[in-house]
C-alpha cells in the first residue's frame, strides 16, 4: 500500500506456511480443479437474496491479491439498490445497442454468436447484487499529490480472478459484463476520474431454469495451454 512516509524494506519471517506431502498436494490440486470446473457464467438469476456480509467477505478475499509495488490499485462498489441497478442496466443497454448495431464488427459478433449474448441485459436487474470493479490508474495523497500505480491492469485482473473464485466457493454464480465505454459508472458510483471501471459482475443464485451455452463447457486441453521445460531435457 502506498505511503507518504519513508518506508524501507524490512524482512518478515514467513507468517503462514502450509506443509503438504506430495500426495496431499496432488489431491488438493485435483479437488480444487473439480470445484472450479463446476464454475459457470450464468445469466439467469433467482429471487433468492444474498447477505451483504457474504459479498463483503468475497471482496475482502479479492483484496488479498498480489499487486504491483503492493499499491492494491482497485476499488469495488457493491450495489443491491434496485433503482441503481436499473439505471446501470439502461446505460449498459444503450452502449450495447451501438455495439450490436455495428460498433463491434462482423468478426466479433460472429465470435459471440455461440454464447447467445445480445442487447438485452435483464440480469443487471434480476441479480441481487452488482459489483463494479474499478482500476485506480493513479493515486492521490491527502494533500492532493498524485502518485503512480504500477502494473494496474495485471493487478486488477488478478484481484478480479480472486473475486470470481471467492463467489463460486461461496455457492454463488456470477456474470462479468463489460459495456464499452463504461464512463457512466464513475458518476453513478461516485468514483473519481483517476479510476477506470473495468467490469460489472452480476452475482446471485441461479434460477431453477438457468441455462449456459453448450460451448462454455468446451475448454482447451492442458496440452494446448501448457509448455514445460524440464530440468533433465
Question: Domain-by-domain residue ranges, the chain?
Answer: 40-208
- Report pLDDT digits (tens) over 50-86: 999 999 999 999 999 999 999 999 999 999 999 999 9
- φ/ψ of 185, rounded to 5, equals -70, -30
pTM of the model: 0.94
Q: Are 35 and 96 in contact (CB under 8 A)?
A: no
Position 185 scores a pLDDT of 96
Position 180 scores a pLDDT of 82
**Is pLDDT at 233 greater than 70 in this prediction?**
no
Band (99; pLDDT cuts 50, 70, 90): confident
C-alpha cell recorded at residue 154: 495485471
Band (144; pLDDT cuts 50, 70, 90): confident
Kindly write down the DSSP assignment for every residue of 177-201, as one continuous string: E--SS-THHHHHHT--TTEEEEEEE
Q: Cα dihedral angle (193, 196, 200, 201), rounded to 10 degrees?
A: -120
Compute and round to an integer the Cα radius of gyration of the chain.
20
What CATH number is given for 40-208 in this structure? 3.40.109.10
Terminal C-alpha separation, the chain: 41
- Report pLDDT digits (tens) over 170-185: 999 999 999 888 999 9
- Report pLDDT digits (tens) over 1-51: 777 777 888 999 999 999 999 999 999 999 999 999 999 999 999 999 999
Residue 181 burial (CB count, 10 A) = 10
**Is pLDDT at 161 greater than 70 in this prediction?**
yes
CA separation (Å) from 215 to 41, 137, 211? 12, 35, 12
Position 46 scores a pLDDT of 97
**Is pLDDT at 231 greater than 90 in this prediction?**
no
Amino acid at each position: 500500500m502506498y505511503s507518504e512516509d519513508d518506508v524501507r524494506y524490512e524482512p518478515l519471517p514467513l507468517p503462514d506456511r502450509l506443509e503438504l506431502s506430495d500426495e496431499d498436494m496432488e489431491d488438493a490440486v485435483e479437488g480444487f480443479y473439480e470445484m472450479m470446473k463446476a464454475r459457470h457464467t450464468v445469466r439467469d438469476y433467482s429471487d433468492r437474496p444474498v447477505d451483504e456480509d457474504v459479498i463483503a467477505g468475497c471482496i475482502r478475499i479479492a483484496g488479498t491479491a498480489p499487486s504491483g509495488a503492493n499499491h492494491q490499485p482497485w476499488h469495488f462498489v457493491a450495489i443491491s439498490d434496485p433503482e441503481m441497478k436499473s439505471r446501470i442496466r439502461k446505460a449498459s443497454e444503450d452502449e450495447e445497442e451501438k455495439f450490436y448495431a455495428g460498433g463491434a464488427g462482423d468478426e466479433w459478433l460472429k465470435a459471440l454468436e455461440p454464447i447467445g449474448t445480445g442487447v438485452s441485459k435483464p440480469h443487471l436487474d434480476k441479480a441481487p447484487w452488482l459489483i463494479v470493479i474499478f482500476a485506480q490508474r493513479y493515486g492521490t495523497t491527502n494533500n492532493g499529490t498524485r502518485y503512480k500505480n504500477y502494473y494496474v491492469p495485471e493487478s486488477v485482473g488478478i484481484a478480479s480472478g480472486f473475486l470470481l473464485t471467492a463467489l463460486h466457493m461461496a455457492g454463488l454464480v456470477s456474470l462479468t459484463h463489460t459495456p464499452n465505454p463504461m464512463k457512466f459508472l464513475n458518476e453513478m458510483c461516485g468514483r473519481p476520474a483517476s479510476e477506470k471501471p473495468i467490469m460489472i459482475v452480476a452475482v446471485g443464485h441461479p434460477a431453477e431454469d438457468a441455462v449456459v451455452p453448450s460451448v462454455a463447457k468446451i475448454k482447451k486441453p492442458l496440452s494446448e495451454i501448457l509448455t514445460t521445460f524440464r530440468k533433465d531435457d
